[in-house]
A and B are shown apart, each in its own frame.
Chain A
Amino acid sequence: MADMSSRSQKPVDRLGLAMRASHVLVAIFVVLGLICAAIGAANQDTFFLRLATEALIFAGLALSVDILLGYTGLLSLGQALYFGMGAYISALVLKEVPSFWLAMGAVLVASFVVSLLAGMVANRVRGVYFALVTFGLAQVAARAVYNTRAIGASDGLIGIPIVPINLGFGTFMSSSPAPFFIFTLAFIVILYLISAYILDTPFGRILVALRANERRVPFLGYSTWNARLAAYVLAGVVAALSGALYPMLRGFVSPELLFFATSGNAVITVVTGGVGTLAGALYGSVILTVLKSVVGSMTEHHLIVIGLLFMAVVIFLPKGLMGLVRPRIERMLSGGDR
């Protein structure tokens, strides 16, 4: 990791330390995930493994919201735009050519281009206006998809074929629950590591500085525009690549993936997990999925519980669940260094 070099420095690099604490939390997350996969595979389970895979896919979307909210302080209310775009492009490619890598490549290129263009629009404004521009852009896209017959309109696209996923050392089918779960876990963790690496470089520090005092950063010789745009593109690509896995898991895509509810859920996930921790997005997504299926099995009005929990977190735990846990790990890490 890039932060290894900061280990020996004396005053303690707090940002680097926080990032290492996040890495520890993600490592724990991976171990827990693998245990779940082992239990699921041993029981020949399909339902729970697929649910867990879906939680991981939405964790990727939450991760992208956290890149923006946690590092640039900008709230995106339209991140479902990229998630849904990734899902649709992946579905369309897979229907023509059932090639996993082609689908991922197409999503990567398309999301890079679209987020670059949309970022140039959205980054012209700040604060609450940014939230509303991103909301508006996603809404335009959602309505357009919803009304376009050629891509299934309100019905979405069904019958996306099962694809073989060739990882070089072996091939498995997207329909087999345990391998696809482990693959998704690895994929999301790689997205996390790439994001964490980028955000821990000097570029990431510019973002943190921007959040602290935007007017002062240009005086230090850094471009605020480029940094913001780069963060926006990174977030868009992460969301789209996560979304690309969705049709492989479920075999269909629907315009709901682009709706405000999807973006809103990702925001709830990040705030509950802990803004600016990256690891919080992963834990938050799992916690919300578990909560939804547990409360959802008792009452169809599970949203009221989620809403109340969310309000309580905003008021009483502004740093989210990771805000409770991460400082302890930071203390352990810094204690181990000396």
Chain B
Amino acid sequence: MGGITDYIQFVLAPQMITGLALGVAVVLVALGLTIIFGLLDVINMAHGEFYAVGAYLALALGASGISFWILLVIVPLVMLPVGYAVERGLIQRVFNLPDRHVTTLLLTFGLGLVIEEALKIIFGANTQRPPTPISGAVELMGVLLPSYRLFLIVIGAAIVIAVALIINKTTLGSLVRAAAFDSNMAASLGVPVKRVFAWTFAFGVALAGLAGVLLAPIYSVFPTMGRDFIFLAFTVVIVGGMGSIAGAVVAGLLLTQIQAISSLIVPPVWSDPLLFGIMVVMLVVRPQGLFGRLGHG
């Protein structure tokens, strides 16, 4: 019997807790993605690049001596006007074309390419790693966990709850949901739909930037960091249900746990195909995902 408890304490539990930190990270990236899809009906293929921009901003500003805690506030604030400008300047131009999904997907795909190359030109292709803002480790259920990962899990949960409350419980959130549900009706009731859409997009982009700041100390900073992470985030959004916050949380935690536990059984290189396989099966069996769409019933 000792073998099993040892296995759980020294193999399974650390794997699951590391998986939990990754899960929170993925949920943070997926959150902005799912909000932009659920409310604007836009697939933002450049979301991973906005995440990378947030991480690079944190790296550059952090190098000039600004403390990590201030960056947590500044970077999302800087990303807001960026997202707003992208929505008004680019997305709005093609928003009312008949094939909105395809066109916005293509447009943001091009934008992602441009941002990624711009990051390579400005910062170089090398991998960089900002210092960890909280050093040390804590013991959790007999498992040694780096303090920063614990902090990430806690603040990640706080951010998700805050975002869910803003969208579901505030007047601002109801404006956004109304515009998403029936933009014509909302407009005739006085909701400034175009501005609401632009601010929603900006909000999603700011969330991506915030995720960038938070995750840079763990997963390092490099120009293609967004591309690597966004595949996982897309999987999470699809399995959870495009546009559902609860879905993103459940799917994000579930999939990263599957990944963490499966990598004990099969070689870790096969965990990615496994996740994409789950995504494909989910899309075919239940395309709307685990949970329904945001703002729609």
- Whether A311 lies near B110 (C-beta < 8 A) is yes
Do A303 and B110 contact each other (CB < 8 Å), given the known contacts A75-B102, A128-B43, A315-B93? no
A271 to B235, CA, bound (A): 26
Interface stretch among A52-60, A108-116, A140-148?
A140-148
Do A311 and B90 contact each other (CB < 8 Å), given the known contacts A75-B102, A140-B277, A143-B273? yes
- Whether B118 lies near A315 (C-beta < 8 A) is no
With a cutoff of 8 Å between Cβ atoms, the chain A residues found around residue B235 in the complex are 136
Interface size in chain B (residues, C-beta < 8 A): 40
**Nearest CB to that of B125 among chain A residues?**
A300
- Whether B102 lies near A131 (C-beta < 8 A) is yes
Check if B111 is an interface residue, CB within 8 A of chain A.
Answer: yes
Interface of B is mostly: helix
- Whether B117 lies near A301 (C-beta < 8 A) is yes
Do A144 and B273 contact each other (CB < 8 Å), given the known contacts A75-B105, A301-B121? yes
- Whether A314 lies near B94 (C-beta < 8 A) is yes
With a cutoff of 8 Å between Cβ atoms, the chain B residues found around residue A128 in the complex are 43, 101-102, 105, 242
- Whether B280 lies near A133 (C-beta < 8 A) is yes
Interface stretch among A119-127, A183-191, A223-231?
A119-127
Contact of B101 among A121, A127, A137, A264 (CB under 8 A): A127
Check if A306 is an interface residue, CB within 8 A of chain B.
Answer: yes
A139 to B227, CA, bound (A): 13
- Chain B 58-101 near chain A by CB (<8 Å), digits 1 or 0: 00000000000000000000000000000000100110010101
A73 to B116, CA, bound (A): 28
With a cutoff of 8 Å between Cβ atoms, the chain B residues found around residue A268 in the complex are 110
Check if A252 is an interface residue, CB within 8 A of chain B.
Answer: no
Check if B103 is an interface residue, CB within 8 A of chain A.
Answer: yes
Nearest Cβ in chain B — how far from A330, in angstroms? 22
- Chain A 297-311 near chain B by CB (<8 Å), digits 1 or 0: 000010110111011
The 4 closest A-B pairs by CB, nearest first: A307-B113, A304-B117, A307-B114, A311-B110
A-B contact pairs, 15 of them (CB 8 A): A75-B105, A121-B280, A125-B283, A125-B284, A132-B234, A136-B235, A136-B279, A139-B273, A143-B272, A301-B120, A307-B114, A311-B114, A314-B106, A314-B107, A318-B94
Binding site for B on A (CB under 8 A): 69, 73, 75, 121, 124-125, 127-129, 131-133, 135-137, 139-140, 143-144, 146-147, 264, 267-268, 271, 301, 303-304, 306-308, 310-311, 314-315, 318
